[in-house]
Amino acid sequence: MRVDKNTIMVLTVALSLMACTNYPDYGTGGIAEQYPNSDFSPVMPDEPLGPEHGLRFDWQLTKLHLDSLIREGARWCFPAAVVQALEKQNRIARELEGGLLLDAANDLVIQRRRLTELELQLDYVTSQTRCVPPIDQYSFQQQLAIIDQLYNLLNVDNQFAFDSIEVNPKYMGNLAQAANILREHPTLTLSVTGHADAIGDNQYNQNLAMGRAKQVKRYLTIFGLETNRIQTQSVGDELPLYEGNSPGVRLTNRRVSIEIVSTDEISVNNSVGGYYDQ
Residue that finishes a domain, picked among 100, 128, 156? 128
Does residue 180 sit within a domain? yes
Count of domains for the chain:
2
DSSP class of 132:
E
Provide the whole-model pTM: 0.62
The boundaries of the domain holding residue 198 are 137-262
88 and 187: one domain?
no
For 13, the 3-state DSSP assignment is: helix
Give the DSSP H or E segment for 188.
strand 188-194
Q: What is the CATH number of the domain that holds 222?
A: 3.30.1330.60
Q: Is the dihedral of CA 25, 31, 32, 38 positive or negative?
A: positive
DSSP class of 268:
B
CB 7 within 8 A of CB 125: no
Q: How far, in Å, CA of 73 to CA of 241, rounded?
A: 30
Mean pLDDT for 134-157 is 83
143 and 106: one domain?
no
Q: How many CB atoms lie within 10 A of CB 148?
A: 18
Share above pLDDT 70 across residues of the chain, in percent, rounded to a whole number? 74
- CB under 8 Å to 24, separation ≥6 — which residues? 30, 97, 98, 99, 100
Residue 268 has pLDDT above 90, yes or no: no
Does residue 16 sit within a domain? no
Share above pLDDT 90 across residues of the chain, in percent, rounded to a whole number? 34
Does residue 121 sit within a domain? yes
Does residue 215 sit within a domain? yes
161 and 190: one domain?
yes
141 and 256: one domain?
yes
Does residue 274 sit within a domain? no
191 and 112: one domain?
no
Does residue 80 sit within a domain? yes
Does residue 210 sit within a domain? yes
pLDDT in tens, 157-209: 999 999 999 999 999 999 999 999 999 999 889 989 999 999 989 999 999 99
